[in-house]
Each structure stands twice: as structure tokens, then as C-alpha cells.
Structure 1
């Protein structure tokens, strides 16, 4: 009778050990899913940069249709960054245009974190979520309005180089370049919205 109980105890011991191992490993499969966003790092934004900044350009000529009616600017575009003191950041892009009676508008929004490197005057924006919308009025039927969540593959860190310069508006402007020594740049000015 003793011989019958030993295998039974051995099986129970193996089963208990396996159950214990599963209870330790199984939650890890759910807690550390690759699709879950990584925790956002905390970064402080320099005081003079922690604010809303905007840049834009608009057509110098208005667009009038051949029948004499106003149909909107031929082209307009605007960019904005909102740097929060705790390192959170939002980015906006708005663009619109009118051509041959077809009005198109685009809106891009991304949200994430920003890390400033004051040594080389750069900042890296790491988006964690976003959205893109498009609107078409009076355009060919092939153009369809859209409202899409930004896919994970399109949420890549973006590094920019900056300087702060006094502007003709009496305020400090933020100059942003894609490369440290680039001659082309975009001027952002402080904004409130």
C-alpha cells in the first residue's frame, strides 16, 4: 500500500510545483504585453520653453472663383508645439488649400513626451499617440474624408535643433531646424489658445 501512495504523492508534488510555476509566470504574459505602451519617462522642460509655440504661413492672395465668389485661401498651413513643464508635449499641424473649387483640409495631432538637451540645443519629441483627419469639399469622388488613429509604426521619436532669438514682435521666438547647422528653419512665436 505504501508503494501505491508514493507515486500518487509524487504526482501531487509535481502538479503543485507546476501550478506554482504557472501562477508565477502566467501573469507576466498579461502584464508585460508588447502592445502596452511603455511608461512615459519624466523630463523637465526649461522654463523659457515650457509654453505653447505656433508657426504659420498663409497665402498672400485670397482665392476667388471665376464667378466672383470667395472660396478661401489658396494655401494655408500652421504648426504648433505645446511643451508642458513636466515634459509632456503635444504637436499640431493644420493645412488647407483650394484649387479649382476643391477645398482640402488636414489636421494632424500627436501627443507624447519631450526631452531637451541644452548642451547641443536640441529636443526629441517622442509621440505615444496621435490622430489624422482630412476633409474634402467640392473635390472628385475619389477623395474621401478620413479620421484615423496614428499607427504605432508612425509614432517615432523626432529630434529638432533650436535657438531662442528676440523677434520683431518684442518677444522671444523659437527657431527650429532639422539639422544643427541647417540654413532653413521655422520661426515659432509664443501663443495662447
Structure 2
């Protein structure tokens, strides 16, 4: 059920994704990229969590988790990527959701991968305060927070499954700083 929810969320974002225009076409042409190694492609890399706290209504019916979220990456061999992020927070029957969709190019040099966002969008949804609902393209000055370099490795984990491990440049290699993505394909 959880996978279905994320799939539907991401399909919604994809179906309303940004349209190319001349400016975006130039940005794509100017954005640095390298070929992406095959161990990163042909996979959907996802990390997610769900809270231990849950909510029930006054009739004893389950309403949902206190919060949950996921980040997904899809890399293509031509040096492009797509990133999806979903975060939700619940307070009883009120649910606030945040979606981020980003497309861009990547440079892979050895064990380093650098993300160069080109286009994307934000969407917010709040079922208790519709004035908080919005959908808009990501602004030029906001792209920089997604332009990051990570150390990466695809390896077998203790669970026997293949994972993508990413550590943002400048952070200590402590367990809480290492993002571990599962291959969902």
C-alpha cells in the first residue's frame, strides 16, 4: 500500500511537471554532465521513513502516521537525473504534504557525484487549511540548495540487498550522515 501511495504521488508530480522552453533548453545545454555508470542506472533509488506515532479519530478509526517521507533518485546513462521528495505531517485529521520534483544533470567522477538542477517544482497540500495549498516552479535562486556533491558507492548491505550509499561532501562519515537508498526496481 505504501509503495502504491508513493507511486501515485510521483505520477501526479510527473504528469504536471515543468514544460521545456527556450530558456530551459539553454540551461540543459549549459549544465555539466558525464556519463553515469551502469550500477547507478536502471534503478530507482529510494530512502524513506514513517513515524512510530499514529493517530486515531474519536471513533477509534485509524487516521494515519504522524509523519512520513521519502526521497527517490532515477539516474539515466546520458548524465541526467530526476529526484522526487515527499514529506507529510499529520495532526489528527489534518494532513500537510510537501512534494519536490527536480530534474537536472550529474557529473560522476570516481566516487564523487555532483548534482546540477535545471528545473523542478514544489507542491504543498493541506487538507485543513486550503490557503496553504500551492504549486509552483522552483526559482533560480532555490536550485543552489540542491546543487551538491556526494561521495557514493553501490554495494551489498548486511541484508544481502544492493544499496546506494551517499555522503554529502564536508560531512563526517558518521552513520547519521550516510543516506542509504534501496533499489526499488
TM-score, normalised to structure 2, is 0.75
1:69-108 equivalence runs, <5 A: 69-108=61-100
* Counterparts of 1:49 and 1:181, CA distance in 2: 23
Query: Which runs of 5 or more structure 1 residues have no equivalent in the other structure?
Result: 1-31
Question: Over the residues paired in the alignment, what is the CA RMSD in angstroms?
Answer: 2.4
Report SS of the residue matched to 1:76: strand
* Counterparts of 1:177 and 1:133, CA distance in 2: 27
Query: Which runs of 5 or more structure 2 residues have no equivalent in the other structure?
Result: 1-21
* Counterparts of 1:88 and 1:45, CA distance in 2: 8
Q: 2:102: which partner in 1?
A: 110
Q: Which has the larger radius of gyration?
A: 1
CA 1:38 to 1:56, structure 2 compared with 1: closer, same or farther past 3 Å? closer
Q: CA deviation at 1:70?
A: 1.9
**Pairs aligned (count):** 157
Cα shift readout 1:80-129 (whole Å, capped 9, x = no counterpart): 111101111011100112114321111100000011121xx221110100
* Counterparts of 2:142 and 2:85, CA distance in 1: 15
* Counterparts of 1:162 and 1:190, CA distance in 2: 14
Instruction: State yes or no: 1:189 paired with 2:185.
Output: no
Q: CA deviation at 1:191?
A: 1.5
1:59-74 equivalence runs, <5 A: 59-74=51-66
Q: 1:147: which partner in 2?
A: 135
* Counterparts of 1:127 and 1:188, CA distance in 2: 20
Q: 2:8: which partner in 1?
A: none
CA 1:144 to 1:61, structure 2 compared with 1: closer, same or farther past 3 Å? closer
* Counterparts of 1:127 and 1:113, CA distance in 2: 6
Cα shift readout 1:121-152 (whole Å, capped 9, x = no counterpart): 2211101000000100124x6x4200010001
Cα shift readout 1:133-189 (whole Å, capped 9, x = no counterpart): 0100124x6x42000100011122221222233124432211112236331211101
Question: Which of 107-116 and 166-175 deviates more?
Answer: 166-175
TM-score, normalised to structure 1, is 0.72
